[in-house]
Amino acid sequence: MSDEKLYIVLMGLPARGKSTLAGRLRDAFLKDGIPTRIFNNGKLRRTYLPLQETASSEFYSPENSVAMALRERFARINMERAKAYLRNSGLVAILDANNARRKRRAIIEKQLDDHPILYIECINDDEYILNLIIQEKVKLPEFSHLKDKAVKEFLKRIDYYKMIYVPLKVERNYLRIDSLQNMIIEEKHSDAIPFYDRLRDYLVTDEVKNLFLIRHTETEDNVENRIGGDSKITAKGKMQATALGAFFKNKKISYIFTSAKIRTIDTARAISAMQDDCRIISLKEFDEINAGICERMTYEEIERKLPQVFKKRGADKYHYVYPEGESYETMKHRITQGIKKSFFLNQQAKNIMIVGHQAVNRMILSLFLYRREDDVPYIYVPQDRFYHIVSSHYKKLFELKRYD
Ligand code: F6P
């Protein structure tokens, strides 16, 4: 058995981020000069069978032996193609399919016996995220005839796969990953796996292609210098938001992630209004720091009425927890979760946009741009500019840009 070439076999229920991961791995290998190709069973099925037939959940029923035979045939075609690819110039072949049954995996192991196989099982049970992904999936042309039954059909398809699903265990080499967190849950390898270290590294790295990090535009509370709250944007704020929309008009933004606060949603609406097909997704994870008993006060009021709070926060702003509220430090976890969710949902899109708040954006910036904790609460986050961030193995870019 030669050990310089590798089969990566993806595994997991539908809508768990397998194809996104396949694309990420292929791009990373290719950038490192390692010829890699994806063999996707679904793509093959869509080429050979009428789209409408395979969108129906019944095509995935374990009882449907005709469809099952067809799916096995497509799987075998891809195994042959992957094998031929590695026999020639390819170094890594990625087989992208659900591969939920142990029986299917045994066939793979029998057919692909010339190089090591590394399985990667994608796991994600976050209902909210799953729902959003399914809503996106059913927008594909193959589901159009199902109209409002499409989501139900897709959920039924998942249930059929759950019936036959056997997690990885007896396989010789595998990684089980939480595909939302980009985190390895379990790993086992019995054979020498080529490119293993770099593969692990690709798996756990959050690649940021183009992150546009925007702070909501001017609000009524901003004008009065009040912190927190849930006020609307002002007339000036609307003009700023419209200017943002015009600025991003020619960039494709598929999703805008906001907090659950009116001011970020209002800002995002003006931007999405100038896009073709853009969805606003509000995540509570991106809500502004909770100032507890100080919510809607001005800094002057806090200094006057709650001098201890003012003094203590001034002495250690990063760690200071507002009574009944949060600190920068305690916000970090939820904001990291928000980032994970938005990156996962944004899938392979080139651009990602977040409309956040002053403290939230500071924290997001600090996740990509190293800053001492003490400095994080003082990062400059103006309302007339935005940050553009690119962060990958090969490129790091942080720029603060004007939009008007
Ligand atoms: O003033 C706007 C605001 O977003 C408040 O809602 C929030 O409490 C504050 O900024 C966070 O900034 P700092 O940590 O500097 O008080």
**pLDDT > 50? residue 1:** no
Please check the confidence at residue 209 and state whether its pLDDT lies above 70.
yes
| pLDDT reading at 223 higher than 60 | yes
Contact 61, 160 (CB under 8 A): yes
Domains of the chain and CATH, by start: 6-204 (3.40.50.300), 208-402 (3.40.50.1240)
- The mean pLDDT value for 152-164 works out to 96
- In whole angstroms, give the CA distance from residue 7 to residue 93: 5
- pLDDT over threshold 80, residue 3: no
Tokens of 345: 């949902």
pLDDT tens sequence across 88-101: 999 999 999 999 99
Strands (DSSP E) found in 111-172: 117-123
Q: What is the pLDDT of residue 311?
A: 98
Is residue 346 lining ligand 1, measured as CB closer than 6 Å? no
Lowest mean per-residue pLDDT among 233-242, 322-331, 335-344:
335-344
Question: Coil, strand or helix: which one is 117?
Answer: strand
pLDDT band at 147 (very low <50, low <70, confident <90, very high): confident
| Mean model confidence pLDDT for the chain | 94
Residue of higher predicted confidence among 392 and 71: 71
Q: pLDDT, tens digit, for every residue of 4-21?
A: 999 999 999 999 999 999
| 367 CA to centre of ligand 1 in angstroms | 18
For atom 8 of ligand 1, the residue with the nearest CA is 227
Cα-to-centroid distance, 312 and ligand 1 (Å): 16
Ligand 1 contact via 291 beta carbon (within 6 Å):
yes
Among 263, 288, 327, residue to substitute to test ligand 1 (most atoms within 8 Å of Cβ): 288
Ligand 1 atom 4 nearest Cα: 358
